[in-house]
Amino acid sequence: MTYTSPILNVMTAAVRKAGRPLIRDFGELENLQISMKGPADFVTSADTRTESLLIEELTRVRPGYGFLGEESGTIEGKDESHRFIIDPIDGTTNFMHGVPHFAISVALEREGQLVAGVIYNPVTDDLFVAEKNHGAYHNHKRLRVAGRKELGPCLLATGFPFKGREGHAQSLAEMETMMGLTAGIRRFGTASLDLAYVAAGRFDGFWERGIKAWDMAAGILLVREAGGMIADLDGGQDMLTKGSILVANEYLQPQLLKLLKNVKAG
């Protein structure tokens, strides 16, 4: 059975409520209002509405908590020790194109430490939850990272820059290195679910540069609670501020980190 607590119940109820309108939107993509935030960085009416709904629901039950959201930025709360980190639709481009691989991601920080996380794909009804020191779960099943020790049979996931962003050469060089050493690389376009899949043992590892705090906060806790190792791509623990991440099990993570540190673009 899934571990439950008051805060996980609050967060789960919020993402499920926010997910219901997204399912309707997903079925009526031709009516969705779409604008451009930047080169190939799309924001939809569904993004902004979902974030507003999440903030409303979470504030109602936990008044005073602060927020860091993809659309709203930083919202200071009276309770300075608690902050929710929200991505209303991680995988907006998938969502826009009718690809049912996207998620609502909500994490809770307490005094700067990630203590709870929820990742929810409303179309598939896949719910991943974790709370510090209480494990990670997918639809009532306890999660554990895969146990492979060698890179050869591993399936890895990554993200790389899209149109208008820097870092293509570095990403291509890293992928070339990893493709020659593993069973395969996947790029699904939703970092939160990539991290959840590592926690579930579906992927053996995941890395990405230029990633935002709201893309990875909940997933970081899921991987930790599933027994995985996490670092930024310099080998430290500043993932949320440096915007880079590498996760895998205890055997693979040091190998992957060494390889990625040595990859030079061009």
pLDDT in tens, 237-264: 999 999 999 999 999 999 999 999 999 8
pLDDT band for 7, please (50, 70, 90 cuts). Answer: very high
The pLDDT of residue 266: 63
Instruction: Give the CATH class of 6-142.
Output: alpha beta
- Which pair of structure tokens corresponds to residue 45? 């009416």
Indicate the residue type of 103: A
36 forms bridges with which residues in the sheet? Answer: 42
Give me the percent of the chain exceeding a pLDDT of 70.
Answer: 94
Please give the CATH topology (third level) of the domain spanning 155-261.
D-Maltodextrin-Binding Protein; domain 2 (3.40.190)
Cβ within 8 Å of residue 12, ≥6 positions away: 118, 120, 127, 129
The pLDDT of residue 42: 63
- Which pair of structure tokens corresponds to residue 260? 């990625």
Domain borders along the chain are 6-142, 155-261
Place of tokens 């430290």: 236
Asked if 210 and 161 touch (Cβ cutoff 8 Å), the reply is: yes
Asked if 192 and 185 touch (Cβ cutoff 8 Å), the reply is: no
Residue 221 to residue 132: CA distance in whole angstroms: 7
> Which of 127, 144, 141 is closest to 9 using CA atoms?
127
Residue 47 to residue 71: CA distance in whole angstroms: 8
Place of tokens 């909940």: 218
The pLDDT of residue 11: 98
Give the predicted TM-score (pTM) of the model: 0.94
